[in-house]
């Protein structure tokens, strides 16, 4: 049986990554989604094991020390990470596995699985990215500026990706993503 490959998708906050991943998982057969572990509490709609593996900070740090993660990140005071065993088990089923991780995590996944496909979702411009984040109406002005600062840093990593998709129009960006994934 063929082993699947990790398909890593990264983007700055507000670039449309989550929307594109949801469409991809819904419209392309034979994909599996990598569920990350986190120390943040679940929202009302989230389920343990489906959206994230919700674990304590103590457990997360123990597992990190035991080298059980391929990649980890600290975001807004909470830890996130991809468990090696969970990813490897999914890949052994023969399905390609979609990972939603940051730019540093993507590089670490590539080290663990050199056959990984890295796809970066870029906004059409920083101005449009700022408008998208503002139009979500969920962040303070300080938080918006922090997200934009992070986005500028993340954009510098796109050169390490196999593909860069500019999400200017959702339909066009999704069709490009679908084509890349199907033809990998």
* pLDDT (tens digit per residue) in 18-60: 999 999 999 999 999 999 999 999 888 889 998 899 999 999 9
Position 138 confidence tier, pLDDT thresholds 50, 70, 90: confident
Within a domain: 89: yes
Within a domain: 134: yes
Within a domain: 1: no
pLDDT for 75 beyond 80 = no
The total number of structural domains in the chain stands at 1
**What's the rounded Cα separation, in Å, for the pair 184 and 165?**
15
Cα separations (Å) of 159 from 8, 75, 106, 119, 155? 14, 23, 12, 10, 9
- Digit-coded pLDDT (tens) for 154-181: 999 999 999 999 999 999 999 999 999 9
pTM to 2 decimal places? 0.91
Q: Domain range holding 97?
A: 6-182
**What's the rounded Cα separation, in Å, for the pair 155 and 12?**
7
CATH of residue 159: 3.40.50.300
């Amino acid at each position: 049986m063929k082993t699947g490959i990790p398909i890593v998708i990264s983007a700055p906050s507000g670039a449309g990554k989550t929307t594109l991943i949801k469409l991809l998982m819904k419209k392309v057969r034979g994909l599996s989604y990598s569920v990350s572990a986190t120390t943040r509490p679940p929202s009302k709609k989230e389920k343990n094991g489906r959206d994230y593996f919700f674990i304590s900070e103590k457990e997360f740090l123990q597992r990190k020390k035991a080298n059980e993660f391929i990649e980890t990140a600290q975001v807004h005071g909470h830890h996130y990470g991809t468990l090696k065993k969970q990813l490897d088990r999914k890949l052994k089923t023969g399905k390609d596995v979609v990972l939603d991780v940051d730019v540093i995590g993507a590089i670490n996944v590539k080290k663990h699985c050199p056959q990984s496909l890295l796809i970066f979702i870029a906004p059409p411009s920083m101005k449009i990215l700022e408008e998208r984040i503002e139009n979500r109406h969920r962040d303070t002005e300080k938080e918006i500026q922090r997200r934009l600062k992070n986005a500028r840093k993340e954009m510098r990593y796109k050169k390490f990706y196999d593909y860069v998709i500019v999400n200017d129009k959702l339909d066009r960006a999704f069709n490009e993503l679908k084509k890349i994934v199907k033809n990998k």
